[in-house]
C-alpha cells in the first residue's frame, strides 16, 4: 500500500509538472503575441480551485482529473467575439502566430528537459560502472574481443561512464542500423583497447534485454542473497505463504546461495511443484511452491510473483558519478535532450514499420511505477525521469495526428502551401481519425502495463 501511494503521488506530481510546463508554453507565447487567453486549466473535469490574478483577464483553474490540461483562447469558432476584441482572437491571427502558439507547448517540454538534465548534471548522478558480466561464446561481442570483467569507457569516441549512457549509445547504433560500432574498454579493468563490433547480423526487437543479449553480453551483476523483498498479491509465492524477509535456503533439496540462482530454478519449473526451504526469523520452514507458466516470444518459463530485497550497498568500485560544473553542464544537457528526442522518434518509426516491438509502449501504470521508483532513489534520478517523460510528451505532441499539436501544425503547413485554411469538414474527419488512433494507442499502452504488473 505504501509503495502504491508513493507511485500514485509521484505520478500526479510528474504529470502535474509536465502538463503545467506544456500548457504554460501555449499560454505564455499566446499572450506575448497578442492572443487573449480566457482560461488556463491544469486537469480536466470539475474545477477544484479557480482564481484570477489582479489586472489579469485569464481564469486559472485546478481541475479534478490530473491527466492533462488546456489553454482556452478567444476564438470566433468557439463563441461570439465582440468587435473591439477581434484583433485578439486566435483565429484572426496570422499563420506564423498560430504556428508559434501551438508549437510552444512541445518546445517548452524540450526546454524543461534541458533544464532538468542541466540541474541533474550539476548535482551529480550516481550510476553503475559499465562492467561486463557474461559474454556469450561466438557472439558479436566475443568475436570483437570483449571479455568478462572489461569496463566500457567510450562508444564511438563518446565518453560512457555509466550503464545508462552505454545502453543509450548502443541503442542509438541499433536504431540507426549501423554496420559497426567502436567500443573503447579497459580490459580486465586496466588495459586500454579499442574493439570493433560487427552489427550487420544483429537481430533484436530493440528491447534493452534482447539488445544486449543479441550482441552477446550482459552487465556484471552483484550477487544478491536470495531474500524476498516483496510478494505480489495473488501470485504463486503469496498462495504458498512466502512473505517479505524470507530467505530461500534450498529448493528440492539443493542449496541456493544467490537470488539469480533461485530465479533460474523457478524459470525452469513452470507448473511443477517445488519444495522450498526458507529461513524466517531464525527458523527453517518448508513450503510447496508451484510456479505459474508464462509464454513470451515462443518460450515458456515459470514465475512466482516475488521481488528481490535490493537493500544492499553497491561497492564503490562499481559506482560511477556523472557530474559537471554549472557552465560546462549546459552542452551535455542539450545533447542529452537531443539524443533522447531522436531515439524516441526513431523508435516510434521502427514500431510503425514492425522493426521494433509495440511492447515498448508504456502507459500511466508503468509511468506511475517508475515515478515512484525514481522518487525513492533520489532527486537526481527523479529529475532524469522527469526529463525523459517531458521529452516523450514533446515528441508525441509533435506527431502529425489530429487532436495533437502536431495535427494542428500539419494543418498550418497545408495552409501555408495552399494559401487557404483546411476546411472544417476535413478537420472533423481528421479529428475522428485522431480519436481512433489515440484510442488504439491507449489500449496498447494499458495492455502492456497490465502485462508488466501481472508478470
Active site residues: 23
CA angle centred on 28, ends 14 and 25, rounded to 5° = 35
Q: Are 264 and 221 in contact (CB under 8 A)?
A: no
Q: CA 113 to CA 388: how far, in whole Å?
A: 7
Look up residue 314 and give its DSSP letter.
P
Q: CA 129 to CA 222: how far, in whole Å?
A: 12
- Looking only at the bridges linking them, the beta strands covering 247-251 and 254-255 are antiparallel
| Of the candidates 115, 4, 127, 112, the residue with the CA atom closest to the CA atom of residue 392 | 112
At 434, is the secondary structure helix, strand, or coil?
helix
Give Rg (Cα) of the chain: 26
| Of the candidates 102, 77, 96, 89, the residue with the CA atom closest to the CA atom of residue 38 | 89
Which residue is listed with cell 535532450? 337
Q: CA 165 to CA 386: how far, in whole Å?
A: 17
Query: What contacts 417, CB < 8 A, 6 or more positions away?
Result: none
Amino acid at each position: 500500500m505504501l509503495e502504491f501511494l508513493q507511485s500514485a503521488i509521484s505520478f500526479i506530481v510528474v504529470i502535474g509538472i509536465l502538463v503545467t510546463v506544456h500548457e504554460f508554453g501555449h499560454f505564455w507565447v499566446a499572450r506575448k503575441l497578442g492572443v487573449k487567453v480566457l482560461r488556463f486549466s491544469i486537469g480536466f473535469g470539475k474545477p477544484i480551485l479557480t482564481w484570477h490574478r489582479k489586472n489579469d483577464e485569464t481564469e486559472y483553474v485546478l481541475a479534478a482529473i490530473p491527466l492533462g490540461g488546456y489553454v482556452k483562447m478567444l476564438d470566433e469558432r468557439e463563441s461570439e467575439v465582440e468587435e473591439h476584441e477581434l484583433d485578439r482572437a486566435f483565429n484572426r491571427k496570422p499563420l506564423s502566430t498560430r504556428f508559434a502558439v501551438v508549437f510552444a507547448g512541445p518546445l517548452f517540454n524540450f526546454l524543461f528537459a534541458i533544464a532538468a538534465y542541466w540541474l541533474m548534471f550539476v548535482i551529480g548522478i550516481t550510476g553503475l560502472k559499465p562492467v561486463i558480466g557474461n559474454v556469450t561464446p561466438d557472439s558479436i561481442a566475443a568475436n570483437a574481443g570483449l571479455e568478462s570483467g572489461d569496463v566500457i569507457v567510450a562508444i564511438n569516441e563518446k565518453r560512457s561512464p555509466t550503464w545508462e549512457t552505454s545502453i543509450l549509445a548502443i541503442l542509438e547504433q541499433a536504431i540507426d542500423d549501423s554496420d559497426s560500432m567502436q567500443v573503447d574498454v579497459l580490459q580486465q579493468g586496466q588495459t586500454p583497447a579499442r574493439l570493433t563490433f560487427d552489427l550487420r547480423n544483429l537481430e533484436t526487437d530493440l528491447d534493452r534485454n534482447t539488445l544486449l543479449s543479441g550482441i552477446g553480453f550482459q552487465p556484471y551483476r552483484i550477487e544478491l542473497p536470495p531474500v524476498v523483498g516483496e510478494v505480489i498479491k495473488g501470485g504463486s509465492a503469496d498462495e504458498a505463504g512466502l512473505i517479505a524477509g524470507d530467505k530461500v535456503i534450498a529448493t528440492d533439496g539443493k542449496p541456493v546461495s544467490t537470488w539469480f540462482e533461485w530465479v533460474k530454478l523457478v524459470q525452469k519449473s513452470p507448473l511443477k511443484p517445488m519444495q522450498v526451504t526458507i529461513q524466517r526469523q531464525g527458523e527453517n520452514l518448508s513450503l510447496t511452491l508451484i510456479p505459474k507458466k508464462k509464454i513470451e516470444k515462443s518460450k515458456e518459463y515459470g514465475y512466482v510473483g516475488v521481488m528481490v530485497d535490493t537493500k544492499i550497498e553497491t561497492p564503490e568500485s562499481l559506482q560511477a558519478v556523472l557530474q559537471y560544473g554549472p557552465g560546462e553542464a549546459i552542452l551535455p544537457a542539450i545533447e542529452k535532450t537531443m539524443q533522447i528526442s531522436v531515439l524516441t522518434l526513431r523508435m516510434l518509426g521502427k514500431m510503425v514499420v514492425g522493426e521494433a516491438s509495440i511492447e515498448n509502449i508504456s502507459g500511466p501504470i508503468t509511468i506511475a511505477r517508475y515515478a515512484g521508483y525514481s522518487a525513492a532513489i533520489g532527486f537526481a534520478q527523479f529529475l532524469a525521469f522527469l526529463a525523459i517523460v517531458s521529452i516523450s510528451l514533446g515528441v508525441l505532441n509533435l506527431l502529425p495526428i489530429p487532436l495533437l499539436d502536431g495535427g494542428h501544425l500539419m494543418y498550418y503547413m497545408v495552409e501555408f502551401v495552399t494559401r487557404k485554411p483546411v476546411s472544417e469538414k476535413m478537420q472533423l474527419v481528421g479529428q475522428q481519425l485522431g480519436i481512433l488512433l489515440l484510442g488504439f494507442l491507449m489500449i496498447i499502452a494499458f495492455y502492456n502495463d497490465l502485462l508488466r504488473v501481472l508478470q
